[in-house]
Amino acid sequence: MRGTGKAAPQAATALEKAMLARGALMDKRAVDPVVLDLREITLITDYFVICHGTSNVHIRALSEAVIEALKEAGVRPAGVEGRQAARWVLLDYGDLIVHIFAEEEREFYSLERLWSDAARIEDEAAAATT
């Protein structure tokens, strides 16, 4: 039996997923989205994407935007936590973890400070040089 001639879709890399998530967050006006490259400092995950929203409704919309953008790329989260309360939503994609905070929670937990050894990624070209 012959194939359709179409190549099987390639799975998105962790960096591609991080950039898709960051783009979706920026499109929905997330506050200060940051991508941290954790590959050299932990085995937990490869990348964190961290941002905050301006209200519970905004935080939920941000989480939906990320889920939808990655779903379109054929990627579904392994876990989603915190959407009901919408103070800290965590989207777990295995090699990517997206943290969407309320401003107060972001300041309190200060993940950027906790993971200050991680390189900040502005775009995929910058990541290729790290």
Q: State which residues form the domain around 86.
A: 14-128
Q: Smallest Cα–Cα separation from 86: which of 101, 108, 99, 69? A: 101
Residue 38 in any domain: the answer is yes
Percent of the chain with pLDDT over 90: 84
Cβ-contact 62, 70 below 8 angstroms: no
Residue 5 in any domain: the answer is no
Residue 8 in any domain: the answer is no
CATH of residue 27's domain is 3.30.460.10
What is the predicted pLDDT for the residue at 120?
A: 96
In tens, the pLDDT along 80-127 reads 999 999 999 999 999 999 999 999 999 999 999 999 999 999 865 555
Q: Domain count of the chain? A: 1
